[in-house]
Amino acid sequence: MTVRVLVAKVGLDGHDRGIKVVARLLRDARMEVVYTGLFQTPETVAIAAIQEDVDVVGLSMLSGAHLTLAPLVVEALRARGSDIPVVVGGIVPNNDLDDMRAAGVAAVFGPGASADEMVAAINQVVSQSRA
């Protein structure tokens, strides 16, 4: 079964080159990718994820707001009765990883994460979610 991924930029972070590269890598791995564009709110991401019936939400976080915005996306999904897992890629200091996981983020990819690592982790997150 094909994995459907929604990738999003939440908040005021206007850097989108990396998320476009990741979207292409995921497509090359035969995943279906929906990109919401820049400057999304947690609510718009949650609504789009549910409407698009995706298996996982991938957030690109370069602004330093990951501890605020990623948990808000998880909360917005859960408030709508959805258990779609959320993964985060970007600039996330190692000492924030436990807080991200405690907030419900399924995986975090830092700078230098390989395409193979991201694809494998997303496939694992989706497999666990479907089980």
Predicted confidence pLDDT, tens digits, the chain (131 residues):
899 999 999 988 888 888 999 999 999 999 999 999 999 999 999 999 999 999 999 999 988 889 999 999 999 999 999 999 999 999 889 999 999 999 999 999 998 899 999 999 999 999 999 99
- Helix, strand, or coil here: 56? strand
The fold of 4-118 is Rossmann fold (3.40.50)
Note the pLDDT of residue 79: 98
Note the pLDDT of residue 69: 96
Q: Cβ contacts of residue 73 below 8 Å, gap of 6+?
A: 8, 10, 42, 45, 46, 57, 59, 86
Using the structure block, give the residue that is written with the tokens 């600039």.
91
Question: Which string of b and e fits 88-125 if b means at least 16 CB within 10 Å?
Answer: bbbebeeebeeebeebbbbbbbeeeeeeeebbebbeeb
Q: How far apart are CA 112 and CA 105, in angstroms?
A: 19
Q: The pTM is what?
A: 0.95
Please say whether the beta carbons of 42 and 73 come within 8 A.
Answer: yes
Radius of gyration of the chain (CA): 13
Q: How far apart are CA 21 and CA 7, in angstroms?
A: 11
**Longest Cα pair distance anywhere in the chain, in angstroms?**
36
Note the pLDDT of residue 15: 83
Note the pLDDT of residue 28: 97
What Å distances lie between residue 16 and 9, 24, 47, 51, 80, CA to CA? 8, 13, 21, 23, 27
Q: How far apart are CA 121 and CA 85, in angstroms?
A: 12
